[in-house]
Amino acid sequence: MTRKPNVTNADAAARNSPHISDDKLSGKKNKRKKQKIPLNLVYDYPVRWSNYKVLRDFVQNFYDSIGYREWNSRFRYVYNSGHLLMTAMDVSFSYEWLVPIGASTKRDGSNAYAGYFGEGFKLAALNALREYHWDVYASSSNWQIHVVKASMTVDNHTLDSLSYELERCKHSPNTTLSIYNINVPADLIESVMLSFFYPENVLFGEKIWESSQGAIYKRSKVPLPPRSHVTKEFGSAGIVFAAYQNLGSINVPLVFANHTYRNDDRDRKGLYDFDVISLIEKLVHHVDAKASAILLEYFRPRWYSYPSRKYDICSFYNIVSTLVRNLARSDADAKEFREKYPNLLVAKRIPSRDIIGKNRKSQALSWMRSASVKYRLVQQHFALLGYSVLEDECQKEGGFTLTRDADETESKYIKILEVCTLAIFGAAFFGYKELPACKIITNDEASWRGMANCFPMPANSKNEYGHKLRYRMDYIAIKKRLLCRGNFASAYSTYLHELCHVFGGDSSPNFSGALSEIIEIQLLRIEIIKALSEKWDAIDSDASA
């Protein structure tokens, strides 16, 4: 596998480097004077790195010296016949930076890159020699070092340690790292090289946005290398770079690079889902309106996302809301977005104690589902783009179930519903001394056959069967078309359904349990229902007479 320049023979490439001698390549004994430099790094120091991490830390030293803007033009590598040669063009420094733990050439105060621990080369060299038996040479300026094992004495004990063999050589403007006896899959080398951020990275597609804070690209069609970091909760559709390194992924085909991220844990392998969300959230604060519109489309499945709890660190809510606020700053871009997505409705969060608000939202949702226009719900910040609120649109279209008092004939039918309920259950079953009033829904186009106006009850209230009484109602309402001959069963089931909301909402276990109890009780008193059903059907005759 080769990268620029197009060199196919690694030994030939090595000969072109002034710091890898012909003696090394031919196997002859090197006559040049060498100086041993002990590192005081005990050989069995308890750090075990994978071959991927070892190589990435070696490359990191080159990357930090060159920077991402010139990485593609000034870095070369050749891998062939068990030999990996890496070259940084026009980069040189003193070998002394490679001696102490904690020292680093990246000491300009900015900590701009990931290699700011200053120990990557030393620990990578230790693991390369000890774990994988690689033969490591590095050279720059007028020196070359060879990583070897040496002995050191501590309290009359002889210990193995890491050491450099230093020799002086002809000055070169370049820095090289040459690793012999390395036998790893070619795709591992490729994974390492593609794990760094630079605009020419083949994993990147079209650029969406860039600043000193970071960059966002569309994802190219080039498959993600098999050893890349993937955040398991999100899969591998997109890539996340933190401090110029690939440390995670996201479930949209985008590349996010947050250059300001800082990781103070050197042994941490990748990003968790909440890290990814936090990193992207901080990055999109800087994005302009046009780029925000593009990103919003990628996050379309999250437009109606709200945090599931008070502190939800895995919610996409803030990412979406930030992008919407960014887009709202440009009237032209916001207008273009509305034209592309005209049928969005803002569904605000309703506090659990706001029963009236929850009732209105439930009715509005029912209207929306039956509307001729196919609407899509979005979170509350979309109102900044000029979208209508769900309840307001429902009101404008006459979708709410307005009520009125029953007329004389309707009252006769309602009276039978009440008599039947009291005869079979009694008012106390529903937590009342007297049943609530029953009104008529005036909008016959409303989606519901009935509705209940609910208010919270004390938490410890129960009926005689042990069912908790969650709500009280000042009235219930049913549609007028239910109150006619032959409709007793439909009207009565709707009436009981609405009364049962004293036990909870439609999806609550307490509500379902109460309905089951009602069915059992009714089956034992079917004669009452049959008799009142006959009286129901006789009302039309009485009204005609």
| Predicted local distance difference test score (pLDDT) of residue 107 | 37
Strands (DSSP E) contained in 134-265 are 135-154, 157-180, 204-211, 214-219, 238-242, 245-250, 254-258
42: left (phi over 0), alpha (psi -120 to 50) or beta: beta
Helices 317-328 and 331-340: crossing angle, nearest 10°?
120
Long-range contacts (CB closer than 8 Å, 24 or more residues apart) made by 415-423: 416/488, 416/532, 416/535, 416/536, 416/539, 417/491, 417/492, 417/495, 419/532, 420/492, 420/528, 420/529, 420/532, 421/495, 421/496, 421/499, 423/525, 423/528, 423/532
pTM: 0.74
CA distance 23 to 21: 5
Cα 264 to Cα 54, 111, 115, 119, 243, distances in angstroms:
18, 12, 11, 13, 12
In whole angstroms, give the CA distance from residue 517 to residue 462: 14
Alpha carbon distance 249, 77 (integer Å): 26
Tell me the C-alpha distance between 238 and 234, whole Å: 9
* DSSP state, residue 129: H
Beta bridge partners, 370, equal none
**Domains in the chain: ranges and CATH:** 10-194 (3.30.565), 204-286 (no CATH), 317-396 (no CATH), 403-544 (3.30.2010)
pLDDT at residue 490, rounded to an integer: 93
pLDDT (tens place) for every residue of the chain, 545 residues total: 334 333 334 444 444 454 554 444 444 455 567 898 888 889 999 999 999 999 999 999 899 889 999 999 999 999 998 999 999 999 888 777 677 655 444 434 444 544 433 467 889 999 999 999 999 999 999 999 999 999 888 888 888 899 999 999 999 999 999 999 999 999 999 999 999 999 999 999 999 999 999 999 999 999 999 889 999 999 999 999 999 999 999 999 999 999 998 765 555 578 999 999 999 999 999 999 999 999 999 999 999 999 887 777 899 999 999 999 999 999 999 999 999 999 999 999 998 778 778 878 888 888 898 888 999 999 999 999 999 999 999 988 877 777 889 999 999 999 999 999 999 999 899 988 899 999 998 776 666 788 887 888 777 788 888 888 988 888 999 998 999 999 999 999 999 999 999 998 887 888 888 888 898 988 889 999 999 999 999 986 555 44
Which stretch of DSSP H or E encloses residue 73?
helix 71-74
